[in-house]
Amino acid sequence: AQKVTQAQTEISVVEKEDVTLDCVYETRDTTYYLFWYKQPPSGELVFLIRRNSFDEQNEISGRYSWNFQKSTSSFNFTITASQVVDSAVYFCALSEVWQGGSEKLVFGKGTKLTVNP
Amino acid sequence: GAGVSQSPRYKVAKRGQDVALRCDPISGHVSLFWYQQALGQGPEFLTYFQNEAQLDKSGLPSDRFFAERPEGSVSTLKIQRTQQEDSAVYLCASSPYKTGGDEQYFGPGTRLTVT
C-alpha cells in the first residue's frame, strides 16, 4: 500500500534560516509521482512541484529546492533564507499510475512551518 | 477567477441533517477529486470522476456519502444523516488529465461542522 510519512510535525525557525522538510514514501509501483503542496492559513492547497519516479534530478526554483532519492525513498524539500510568508503547512503526496489514467493523491500528515521575524 | 470554486465555504449542520457541497472545477478539466481533511491531518481521498463517470469511490467512508457529476462539470458531494465524525474540511480538486501524473488544482474547501 502507498504511504507517505512526514516525521516532522512542527518546525519553527527564525527568518533567513534554511529549513528542510522531510518526506519518506512507500510504494510497490515502479511508476509514480511525488508532489509537494503548501497550505497557508487561508486553507487552499497550493501546488509547488511534481516529480516522476524516473526523474531523480534535483530541482531548484528560487529559494525552494527538492532532493529526490529513490534509494532512500525520500523527497525532501528545502527552503533557503526562509521568510515569514513561508509560514504554512506543507504536504508531501504520492500518486501511482492507475489504469483509469488519473491518480488519487496519498498525503502525509503535513509539517507545520512557522517562520518568526 | 479561473480556479476551482466550492460552496458553501462554511456549513453548520445538526446531527442527522443532510448536506450538499458543491464544486465547480476549472473549465475543461476532465478529472475531479473529492478529499476529506480532518483537523491537523492531511487530505484523504474520497472519490474520483472522469467526466461524468465515477471511476473510483473507494474512499467514501459509508453509504451515507454520495457524489455525482451528471454533466461532467459541476460536482456535488452529499452527506446524508450527518454525524459528528463527518466534521471536516471537504476539498475538491480538478486536473486536466493529459498524460497522467497531472498536478491537481484545489478549491478553498467547505468546512463542515456537525453539532
pLDDT(A96) > 80: no
Assign residue B57 a region: left if phi > 0, alpha if psi is -120 to 50, beta otherwise?
A: alpha
Q: What is the mean pLDDT of residues B21-40?
A: 95
Chain A positions with Cβ closer than 8 Å to B: 4, 33, 35, 37, 42-47, 50, 52, 91, 93, 95, 97-98, 100-110
pLDDT(B1) > 60: no
Query: Is A101 close to B59, i.e. CB distance below 8 A?
Result: no
Question: How high is the pLDDT of residue B97?
Answer: 74
Calpha distance A35→A46 (Å, rounded): 11
DSSP label at residue A73: T
Using alpha carbons only, how large is chain A's radius of gyration in Å? Answer: 14
pLDDT(B4) > 60: yes
Calpha distance A8→A3 (Å, rounded): 15
Mutate to test the interface with B, among A39, A45, A51, A52 (most CBs of B within 10 A): A45
Instruction: Reply yes or no: is the peptide bond before residue B25 cis, omega within 30 of 0.
Output: no
Nearest to A100 among B56, B91, B103 (CB): B56
Question: How high is the pLDDT of residue B54?
Answer: 93
- Per-residue pLDDT of B45-88, as tens digits, reads 999 999 999 988 989 999 999 999 999 999 999 999 999 999 99
Calpha distance A93→A113 (Å, rounded): 17
Nearest to B42 among A102, A104, A109 (CB): A109
Query: Is A102 close to B100, i.e. CB distance below 8 A?
Result: yes
Please give the span between the terminal C-alpha atoms of chain B, in angstroms, as a whole number.
33
Tell me how far CA of residue A57 lies from CA of A42, A68, A70, A100, B84, in angstroms.
32, 7, 11, 28, 45
The answer to whether residues B85 and B112 touch, using CB atoms and an 8 Å cutoff, is: no
Structure-block grid coordinates of residue B90: 471537504
The answer to whether residues B71 and B52 touch, using CB atoms and an 8 Å cutoff, is: yes
Q: Which of A5-9, A34-38, A94-98, A110-114 has the lowest mean pLDDT?
A: A94-98
Calpha distance B109→B90 (Å, rounded): 5
Nearest to B110 by CA among B19, B2, B14, B17: B19
The answer to whether residues A15 and A65 touch, using CB atoms and an 8 Å cutoff, is: no
Which of chain B's residues have a Cβ under 8 Å away from the Cβ of A4? Answer: 42
Nearest to B34 by CA among B85, B93, B88: B93
Nearest to A108 among B33, B42, B55 (CB): B42
Q: Which residue in chain A is spatially nearest to B111 when comparing CA positions?
A: A43
Question: How high is the pLDDT of residue A99?
Answer: 60
Query: Is A44 close to B106, i.e. CB distance below 8 A?
Result: yes
